[in-house]
């Protein structure tokens, strides 16, 4: 297939065409020519879109679907279509399925189901068998099968020796260990951030201390063992400080923040909308300020949509019984543009690949086409009509977002959002 993109502004600091408005000719999945006013004969499709911008393809480090076991939430096929229409060419897929992705066969099955899709899948294997937090799973076998990291999604490692063993063992193949930051003995049966709002609403709270104590413990263990640790979705001011201090010590640690934790506070809970029930919980303005600063200064390594589809039967119930989670792929770009410059936003959406051992695409002649297409202009109200996922549980519903995602070009695949 021969594609010609007209007057696309390139946002890619690794490209010689960064911040230039160019035509791009793509033939059989490769960028053949980049120039101005290109004259190309026999083009299968010419793409002209209002205020078209392109960047190297976006990557999300924490995406959940449902298949196998929870197909009513999301299938791999439809989930990848939703990711593509949201501008993502690559996702890290969490292991929280039924059965849990905890061996080589499960990794192979996921990759097989995702094969030939425009969006590439990088599976995360469960750290422990069945994600039960008792015995280490077959980490090396999963690594051989294509797993990029290992963690029990949204489940903390209660036993400190288990984390110690995991960090030591994973060093044999340069594996990345994920540890969800929550001490369950302190979090208890908490539902929301422990603050004035939780008291006012009569909801059980999850104190910031539950996150921070777990991070302190994990960092001490990392200092002892060495290895590579990633702490997904931090949410408090002190968590940022702790990780900043650990990096100054030279510890090999990274962390992420969920996009909704950058925009919304626990004040949103007043309506008892179960879409606002997320983990970690929405915190305070002070926490948000620290998280944004942490991102800008590089203490926080990446953002994630933390995409977590939940079927209506488990969301449209009393707040106490609703499952944690919000979808986020469709709103990621528009939400980030509310807070950051375009260059910063694209940097956050593309820059986390390296931590997971994935190659960074670049917009250059001769390179495989791996492009996200978008416009940063305009604003809109996010509604269910903007959602491509099977589940509609979004904390961003009725929020004002910025820009527009047009779709992706990934190799020979062109996906354009309606």
pLDDT at 41 over 90: no
Q: Residue 111: exposed, middle, or buried by beta-carbon count in 10 A (0-12, 13-18, 19+)?
A: middle
Q: Give the pLDDT confidence score for residue 389 in this predicted structure.
A: 98
What is the rounded average pLDDT of the residues 391-418?
96
Confidence of residue 26 (pLDDT cuts 50, 70, 90): very high
Q: Compute the C-alpha angle 12/17/20, nearest 5°.
A: 95
Q: Which residues pair with 58 in a beta bridge?
A: 88
Going along the chain from its start, the domains and CATH numbers come out as 2-53+364-416 (2.30.40.10), 58-356 (3.20.20.140)
Q: Give the pLDDT confidence score for residue 84 in this predicted structure.
A: 98
- Residues acting as catalytic residues: 306
Question: Token pair of 251, please?
Answer: 């510890």
Q: Which of 102-106, 181-185, 199-203 has the lowest mean pLDDT?
A: 199-203
What is the rounded average pLDDT of the residues 371-391?
98
Question: Token pair of 18, please?
Answer: 């960064």
Specify the pairing of strand 253-258 against strand 302-304: parallel
Express each pLDDT in 47-105 by its tens digit. Answer: 999 999 999 999 999 999 999 999 999 999 999 999 999 999 999 999 999 999 999 99
Express each pLDDT in 349-377 by its tens digit. Answer: 999 999 999 999 999 999 999 999 999 99
Q: Give the pLDDT confidence score for residue 344 in this predicted structure.
A: 98
Q: Give the pLDDT confidence score for residue 213 in this predicted structure.
A: 98
Q: Give the pLDDT confidence score for residue 392 in this predicted structure.
A: 98
Q: At what angle do helices 104-114 and 76-85 cross, to 10 degrees?
A: 60
Rounded to whole angstroms, the Cα distance separating 82 from 71 reads 15
Q: Give the pLDDT confidence score for residue 1 in this predicted structure.
A: 87
Q: Give the pLDDT confidence score for residue 417 in this predicted structure.
A: 86
pLDDT at 25 over 90: yes
């Amino acid at each position: 297939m021969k594609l010609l993109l007209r007057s696309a502004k390139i946002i890619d600091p690794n490209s010689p065409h960064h911040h230039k408005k160019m035509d791009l000719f793509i033939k059989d999945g490769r960028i053949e020519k980049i120039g101005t006013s290109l004259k190309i004969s026999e083009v299968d499709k010419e793409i002209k879109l209002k205020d078209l911008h392109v960047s190297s393809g976006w990557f999300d480090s924490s995406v959940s679907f449902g298949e196998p076991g929870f197909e009513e939430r999301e299938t791999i096929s439809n989930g990848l279509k939703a990711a593509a229409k949201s501008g993502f060419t690559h996702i890290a897929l969490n292991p929280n399925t039924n059965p849990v992705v905890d061996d080589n066969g499960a990794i192979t099955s996921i990759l097989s189901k995702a094969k030939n899709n425009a969006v590439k899948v990088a599976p995360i294997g469960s750290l422990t068998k069945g994600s039960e937090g008792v015995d280490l799973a077959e980490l090396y076998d999963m690594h051989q099968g294509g797993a990029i990291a290992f963690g029990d999604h949204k489940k903390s490692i209660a036993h400190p020796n288990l984390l110690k063993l995991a960090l030591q063992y994973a060093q044999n193949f340069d594996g990345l260990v994920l540890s969800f930051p929550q001490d369950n003995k302190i979090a208890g049966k908490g539902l929301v951030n422990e603050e004035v709002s939780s008291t006012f609403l009569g909801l059980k709270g999850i104190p910031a201390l539950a996150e921070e104590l777990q991070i302190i413990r994990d960092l001490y263990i990392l200092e002892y063992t060495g290895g590579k640790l990633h702490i997904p979705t931090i949410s408090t001011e002190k968590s940022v400080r702790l990780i900043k201090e650990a990096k100054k010590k030279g510890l090999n640690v990274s962390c992420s923040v969920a996009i909704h934790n950058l925009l919304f506070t626990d004040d949103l809970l007043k309506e008892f909308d179960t879409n606002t029930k997320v983990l970690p919980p929405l915190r305070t303005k002070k926490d948000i300020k620290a998280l944004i600063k942490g991102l800008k200064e590089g203490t926080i390594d990446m953002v994630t949509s933390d995409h977590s589809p939940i079927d209506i039967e488990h969301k449209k119930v009393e707040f106490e019984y609703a499952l944690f989670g919000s979808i986020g792929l469709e709103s990621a770009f528009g939400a980030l543009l509310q807070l950051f410059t375009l260059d910063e936003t694209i940097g956050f959406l593309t820059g986390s690949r390296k931590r997971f051992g994935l190659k960074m695409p670049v917009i250059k002649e001769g390179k495989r086409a791996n492009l996200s297409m978008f416009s940063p202009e305009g604003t809109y109200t996010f509604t269910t009509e903007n959602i491509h996922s099977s589940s509609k549980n979004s904390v961003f519903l009725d929020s004002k977002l910025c820009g527009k995602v047009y779709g992706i070009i990934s190799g020979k695949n062109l996906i354009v959002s309606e």
